[in-house]
Structure 1
């Protein structure tokens, strides 16, 4: 979908809070299906074409179990169906009460083991565990707050984590615990014997805890955030782009990108559309913005005070990619610490290409379905291949599950 995009990036565009920042000198039309059709089927770069082909090969054998709860109506459009699919995907992937209870039990076992020895310690969960935006096999992130250890003395942190490791093994929480002591933030990594959950434990790190309040506030006041985040997280996970070290984006970065996208979306800002009823349209807009339009090299994202863009260079966050274009990055201001770029270790190149390819693929699926529905209503025939299945998933063109996953 097109936006009110400046034809060419300028510093004034950011300072004046214009809707979106363009990647290229290309005009943008109004946000409607004909414009989507005009641009959605054209391959603009070989990288996008190759990524699109890889995505199709990866997904052709994937299941779309969320479709069991999507019931198309006689007069529905392809966009209506996509809107319903994103909502159905979100409801399908959300943890059940039983699943969450087991994870809470695991956290409580770890908490009791630690606080039994260090009574003044607190064991707190953060990240997707506390926002309940995790997948069934998602990590559990914990931080031990203990006044007897200073994060300014790394040797103290490592020694304390070593004691915790011995304690948890003795309590049979996990048989094998790995201490990563040389990292900037030392952590313990292990899988629990109960439930086989991957757990990371750090010491006296406060940003993650402070972020929970902010993220949960966004999730509460912006109901469209969670469904879009879950789809984007699944999309990145299935392509191995869900961690900064693999050239991807972490969950916190994704959440802030989605929040910023909704804050800066012109129709959402003017309250012309209800985001919760237009999830499919917004997913397409998100993929287009961050796959084709956003100026990663010069522009950063802030979700504070209603959302804004800023110049990376003015923050001192413009790195090598700004000067040479050798490595594309994204800058995302930490909502709880304006001096922290939460995406500073991320590379945007692979993710941008994946988003661009997904926009092409999903747009094409919507166009093909629209043609099929029109032909069916007009009792005419149209040659559009296997996508002419009225029960086939549109969202399945970019995300899916292994065949053995069911909706039961």
Structure 2
């Protein structure tokens, strides 16, 4: 049921408050600048043009590839040796095969301009203390004037070294033996290959959640893998008619509206969890003991690698995310007196809910 609510988004992750519509509302957004001013478009076309605008452009791809190449060369040149029982590092010619494995959104083609680059290390780095390994790597990359250290988390469940490229300020996350990250990236690739609408819809949903501060797992939000599973399960059930109860529409605009309706209003977060198995389905959370009495409305997604494990036990911003989706739906629907399907670029419906910081507004000029 569609219930009007006050269109305000609370951004808990960054301590800000955003209000809809966005500042772009009422003007032609940058992704539609090439469309003739009197040419009417659909929401689906609006979305497709936004995806083309927001995804990495050739220059950004080249800069990121160059950073990956530089970081890989330095790390593969580090030889860990033991001297008097203590690990030391020496520099040698880059070793083959490389101990650096790229994973995450950069590998799965879901990267956006603000995305981190994720790499996992193998080889000698697995066999030494993470604190020492990260110190070796951080010093080597800093001395080579490639990256500066931002944060070292050697005692985390998956040890992590966060660095930033000196030249272009691109963030890079370095982990050790992160097999889970590598396998989830492979799964995302398979799912995107299976459903062609998954990638553009994930990019759109991910951007919306990012601009509202809902993509930090540490702050109770959803990471890219969780968003991908959420969208994939929706698409699979949508295509079988399980969500609409009718013939599915292949237009991405219609699919997006249905997604917002489903997760903004219809889906019962307290009762059901999401399974992305051989066939996507919903299950009763209580039947698996996954119903948190203190936070019953949290989004629950079954871990596709372990059906006995809840992938999203700490997404405590679920109520805010649900409200956010509901708000986005209200603003994106036609206004009173508008054409239901078509509108001019200056009346972009997507621009009502998309905010662009200055660096993204000017990146393709």
- Is the pair's TM-score, using the shorter chain for normalization, greater than 0.5? yes
State the partner residue of 2:109: 132
Contact 1:111 1:123 in 2 (8 A): yes
State the partner residue of 1:351: 321
C-alpha deviation, 1:164, in angstroms: 1.8
- Deviation string 1:257-303 (CA, Å, 9 cap, x unpaired) is 1101101115667994463xx11111111111111111212211122
Contact 1:327 1:349 in 2 (8 A): no
Q: Which SS does the other structure have where 1:391 is aligned?
A: helix
**Structure with higher helix content:** 1
Contact 2:202 2:231 in 1 (8 A): yes
Change (3 A) 1:72 1:262: farther
C-alpha deviation, 1:181, in angstroms: 2.8
Residue 394 of structure 1 pairs with residue 349 of structure 2: yes
Residue 95 of structure 1 pairs with residue 37 of structure 2: no
C-alpha deviation, 1:360, in angstroms: 1.3
State the partner residue of 1:261: 234
Q: How many residues align?
A: 337
| In 2: Cα distance, 1:65 partner to 1:198 partner | 25
So what's the TM-score if we normalise by structure 1?
A: 0.73
Q: What are the within-5 Å matches in structure 2 for residues 359-378 of structure 1?
A: 359-365=329-335, 368-370=337-339
Change (3 A) 1:103 1:176: same
Structure 2 residues not aligned, in runs of 5+? 11-16, 80-94
Residue 216 of structure 1 pairs with residue 160 of structure 2: no
Change (3 A) 1:341 1:127: farther
Change (3 A) 1:372 1:346: closer
State the partner residue of 2:66: 105
C-alpha deviation, 1:106, in angstroms: 0.8
C-alpha deviation, 1:145, in angstroms: 1.8
| In 2: Cα distance, 1:216 partner to 1:291 partner | 27
State the partner residue of 2:263: 290
| In 2: Cα distance, 1:328 partner to 1:184 partner | 26
Q: What are the within-5 Å matches in structure 2 for residues 2-151 of structure 1?
A: 39=2, 42-43=3-4, 45=5, 48-51=6-9, 54-56=18-20, 58-60=22-24, 64-70=29-35, 81-118=42-79, 119=95, 122-146=99-123, 149=126
| In 1: Cα distance, 2:9 partner to 2:114 partner | 26
Change (3 A) 1:124 1:272: same
| In 2: Cα distance, 1:351 partner to 1:149 partner | 38
**Structure with higher strand content:** 2
Between 59-68 and 307-316, report the one with greater CA deviation. Answer: 59-68
Q: Which SS does the other structure have where 2:114 is aligned?
A: coil
C-alpha deviation, 1:306, in angstroms: 2.9
- Over the aligned positions, Cα root-mean-square deviation in angstroms equals 3.0
Change (3 A) 1:168 1:338: farther
| In 2: Cα distance, 1:312 partner to 1:306 partner | 18
State the partner residue of 1:203: 176
So what's the TM-score if we normalise by structure 2?
A: 0.81
| In 1: Cα distance, 2:220 partner to 2:177 partner | 27
C-alpha deviation, 1:127, in angstroms: 1.1
C-alpha deviation, 1:49, in angstroms: 4.1
Contact 1:63 1:405 in 2 (8 A): no
Q: Which SS does the other structure have where 1:338 is aligned?
A: strand
Change (3 A) 1:206 1:138: same
